[in-house]
Amino acid sequence: MTIIDNAIYVDGIRTENPQSLSETFERMRERQGMSWIGLYRPSEEEIREVADEFGIHALVVEDALAGHQRSKLERYGDVLFMVLRPARYLDEAEEVEFGEVHVVVGPDFVVTIRHAESPDLGRVRRRLEDDPTLLARGPEAVLYAILDEVVDEYSPVLAGLENDIDEIESQLFEDDVDATQRIYELGREVIDFQRATQPLSGMLEALLRGSEKYLVDEELQRYLRDVLDHTLRVADRANTFRTVLDNALTVESTIVARRQNEEMRRMTELSIRQNDEVKKISGWAAILFAPTLVGTIYGMNFDHMPELHWVLGYPMAIAMMLAMGLGLYAAFKRKGWL
């Protein structure tokens, strides 16, 4: 059964704990109280049963069944439909997990449909039951408490994201650390967080604008303005995170480019040094090869060579070898090869 909690309240006091939806509808009208039905991933049949009994619009049913909705506020006559995107920070994974909760508020009922573990609506219910004066203000009080809980749960998420950003900033200037992927991943989480939180301010402002028309309690209006203030602060911090991450990505790109330039310069210097070594080796090889060429010619076993029986033939060959070697050495030295 997907009914997590089901109760009827009269003047802010819990008076009934119906065991079924049909019993809830019957007792609620008998006692002229307010029913609060909490559903967790309900079936289509259960959603349609609640919708038929309370006259909930078919589009609300469609959205509740489909899930994966953006944060939004819609009104169908005297029924208010709100989609909230709660979030929680997972310390071990160092990432943000987003949930989804649908709240349907009517003149004398509240239906909450939760699609994830967050928010803890049981804590919201206990808080309101401990404050009958607030709960006696009607379904809008329940809506306020749920909004307040969702916005309060954003604080640990902001703290976790801020800690991750601080870690990235400390890694930017460390050698052999590439933070680009982590910056992109964290940027994606911040964008998702902004999508979940930014619509809330407009939703709360719309609720406050319609307060007089729908006779919302004045004290509840003050509470809603307080939630709006918290929401704006959350949105401001998320925008700041986005800016910091954009700047961090720019700095990281600059650092990576600088490292690449330094590596290219180092490789160029190494290549130049290798070229110098090759030049030296080639130069000395040429110097040594020239005398070898002369020696090779005179080492041939020919009978008819003019210099074989010439007294100055040997000194001439040595002189040729030295002259060729010294000439090549001077030429290579002038060109900077040696």
DSSP one-letter string for 310-335: -TTHHHHHHHHHHHHHHHHHHHHHHH
Residue 118: the pLDDT is 76
Of 156, 159, 155, give the one whose Cα is nearest residue 233: 155
Spatial contact of 200 and 241, defined as CB atoms under 8 Å apart: no
Q: Please give the backbone phi and psi of residue 10, each rounded to the nearest 5 degrees, phi first.
A: -125, 120
Q: Following CA atoms 331, 335, 337, 338 in sequence, which dihedral angle do they give, to the nearest 10 degrees?
A: 60
pLDDT for 185: 86
- Residue 245, classed as helix, strand or coil, is helix
Contact 239, 194 (CB under 8 A): yes
Please report the pLDDT score of residue 214 as a whole number.
Answer: 64
Please give the C-alpha separations between residue 79 and each of 59, 60, 103, 303, in angstroms, as whole numbers: 12, 10, 10, 123
Q: What is the pLDDT of residue 304?
A: 62
Burial profile 177-212: b = 16 or more Cβ within 10 angstroms, e = fewer: eebeebbeebbebbeebbebbebbbebbeebeeebe
pLDDT of residue 147: 92
pTM for the whole structure: 0.74
Q: In a 3-state reduction of DSSP, which class is residue 7?
A: strand
How would you classify the pairing of strands 34-40 and 109-114?
A: parallel
For residue 75, the SS3 value is strand
pLDDT given for residue 229 in this prediction: 93
Each residue's pLDDT tens digit in the chain (338 positions)?
477 888 888 888 888 888 777 788 888 778 788 889 888 888 888 888 888 888 888 888 888 887 677 888 888 888 889 999 999 888 888 888 898 899 999 888 999 998 877 788 888 889 999 989 988 888 889 999 999 999 999 999 999 999 988 888 787 777 666 677 888 888 889 999 999 898 999 988 888 887 776 667 788 888 889 999 999 999 999 999 888 888 888 887 777 777 777 778 888 777 777 777 777 777 777 766 667 766 676 666 666 666 666 667 677 777 877 887 787 777 777 777 66
Q: Please check whether residue 39 is in contact with residue 46, taking contact to mean a CB–CB distance below 8 angstroms.
A: yes
323 CB neighbour count, 10 Å cutoff: 13
CA 243 from centre of chain: 13
* pLDDT, position 176: 61
Amino acid of residue 132: P
